[in-house]
């Protein structure tokens, strides 16, 4: 049985989502989510409370949803786009979804519309020939599973480009095989959570999460990593990359110094194919609040060289 919860507030909606894997996170179960890893989903659903961050971009996307709906109705005049106001959940599977819109007026029956807003660069990189990324298609497929009366889905992506506004629409048919795979993946995920089988982090996507998990060190605590055979390899790789990066940075400085010498006391340089200027800029005085952060220090004991990471952790 699918539960239907009328959304009455953001707080109530967030509380409902905590108990489930939501459709927007299903792509993480398959390792194809653009932003979320399986590890971050595991941490979230294991009950660890992390500070909730206000995402200004998310607020804008929510406000632009109605614009996406209007663009879809303009391109598909037979469709009537109706805002969805319920949270749907399979309480046994612990899978939930909040559809953006319902599609009425299509001869196939009821549809579910997933509305996305996309920056031009992201559209060019991740949307192939107007087709949404796989994780977005999986999101819509999960929504179709939970809205058992739905006959088809669609994804619309509004490209926020002031020079070229477009909103490609992709139909997502119901697929029994895909829905079965989603069901299996969600069940396995909750089994792993119950058994404490923690997945390996995605060290590209999970940097901020790991920083939140370990914000402070325990004084004088030492961990023995001598049994980790991977660390010496990646530390050697890091040392090589740092050396190459230093050489690249030095060469960039040399090139920029040569350009400055060529410009001399001129403000603007005329050069076919390039725009170059060398202007004086004034930076206003400012004070920076005191902050504390963990800094990673690495020394190559083979050479005695310090290879520091200057980024805060």
| One domain for residues 197 and 236 | no
Reading phi first (left if > 0) and then psi (alpha if -120 to 50, else beta), residue 271 is in: beta
**CA gap 39, 166 in Å, rounded:** 35
Residue 29: other Cβ atoms inside 10 A: 22
| One domain for residues 74 and 163 | yes
| One domain for residues 172 and 243 | no
* DSSP β-ladder status, 152-159 and 109-118: parallel
Q: What pLDDT does 312 receive?
A: 44
| One domain for residues 176 and 266 | no
Please give the distance of CA 205 from its chain centroid, rounded to a whole number. Answer: 8
Encoding tokens for residue 53? 């961050």
| One domain for residues 289 and 252 | yes
| One domain for residues 55 and 155 | yes
Residue 313 lies in a domain: no
Residue 275 lies in a domain: yes
φ/ψ of 206, rounded to 5, equals -100, 15
| One domain for residues 173 and 302 | no
Residue 225 lies in a domain: no
Q: What pLDDT does 299 receive?
A: 57
| One domain for residues 283 and 147 | no
| One domain for residues 98 and 24 | yes
| One domain for residues 155 and 299 | no
Where in the sequence is the domain holding 32, given as residue range(s)?
Answer: 2-207
Task: Specify the number of domains making up the chain.
Answer: 2
Counting Cβ atoms within 10 Å, is residue 53 exposed (0-12), middle (13-18) or buried (19+)? exposed
Residue 197 lies in a domain: yes
128, 150 Cβ separation under 8 angstroms: no
pTM (whole model) above 0.85: no
158, 68 Cβ separation under 8 angstroms: yes
What Å distances lie between residue 250 and 246, 263, 287, CA to CA? 6, 20, 30
CATH number at residue 135: 3.90.320.10
**CA gap 38, 97 in Å, rounded:** 18
Residue 217 lies in a domain: no
Residue 68 lies in a domain: yes
Q: What pLDDT does 297 receive?
A: 64
Closest CA to 99 of 63, 57, 61, 141: 141
| One domain for residues 189 and 242 | no
Instruction: For residue 25, give the DSSP letter.
Output: G
| One domain for residues 166 and 281 | no
95, 104 Cβ separation under 8 angstroms: no
Q: What string of pLDDT tens digits covers the 313 residues of the chain?
A: 899 999 999 899 999 999 999 999 999 999 999 999 999 999 999 987 766 665 666 677 778 899 999 999 999 999 999 999 999 999 999 999 999 999 999 999 999 999 999 989 999 999 988 899 999 999 999 999 999 889 999 999 999 888 888 999 999 999 999 999 999 999 999 999 999 999 999 999 999 999 888 888 899 899 999 999 999 999 999 999 999 999 999 999 999 999 999 989 988 888 888 888 888 878 787 776 777 764 556 456 666 665 555 544 4
Encoding tokens for residue 274? 């390039």
3-state secondary structure 161-195: CCCCCECCEEEEECCHHHHHHHHHHHHHHHHHHHH
């Amino acid at each position: 049985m699918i539960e239907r919860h009328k959304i009455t507030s953001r707080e109530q909606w967030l509380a409902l989502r905590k108990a489930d894997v939501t459709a927007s996170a299903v792509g993480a179960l398959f390792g194809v989510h653009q932003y979320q890893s399986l590890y971050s989903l595991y941490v979230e659903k294991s009950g660890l409370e992390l500070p909730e961050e206000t995402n200004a971009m998310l607020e804008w996307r929510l406000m632009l949803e109605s614009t996406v709906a209007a663009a879809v109705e303009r391109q598909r005049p037979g469709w009537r786009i109706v805002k969805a106001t319920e949270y749907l959940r399979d309480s046994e599977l612990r899978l939930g979804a909040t559809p953006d819109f319902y599609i009425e007026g299509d001869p196939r029956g009821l549809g579910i519309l997933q509305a996305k807003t996309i920056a031009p660069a992201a559209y060019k990189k991740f949307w192939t020939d107007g087709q949404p990324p796989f994780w977005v298609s999986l999101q819509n497929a999960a929504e179709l599973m939970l809205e058992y009366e739905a006959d088809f889905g669609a994804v619309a992506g509004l490209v926020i480009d002031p020079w070229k506004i477009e909103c490609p629409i992709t139909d997502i048919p119901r697929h029994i095989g895909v829905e079965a795979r989603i069901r299996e993946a969600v069940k396995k995920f909750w089994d792993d959570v119950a058994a404490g089988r923690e997945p390996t982090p995605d060290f590209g996507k999970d940097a901020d999460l790991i920083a939140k998990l370990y914000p402070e060190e325990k004084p004088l605590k030492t961990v023995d990593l001598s049994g980790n055979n991977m660390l010496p390899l990646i530390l050697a790789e890091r040392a090589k990359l740092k050396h190459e990066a230093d050489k690249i940075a030095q060469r960039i400085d040399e090139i920029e110094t040569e350009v400055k010498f060529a410009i001399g006391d001129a403000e603007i340089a005329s050069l076919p194919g390039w725009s170059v200027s060398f202007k004086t800029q004034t930076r206003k005085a400012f004070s920076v609040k005191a902050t504390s952060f963990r800094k990673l220090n690495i020394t190559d004991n083979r050479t005695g060289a310090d290879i520091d990471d200057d980024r805060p952790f």
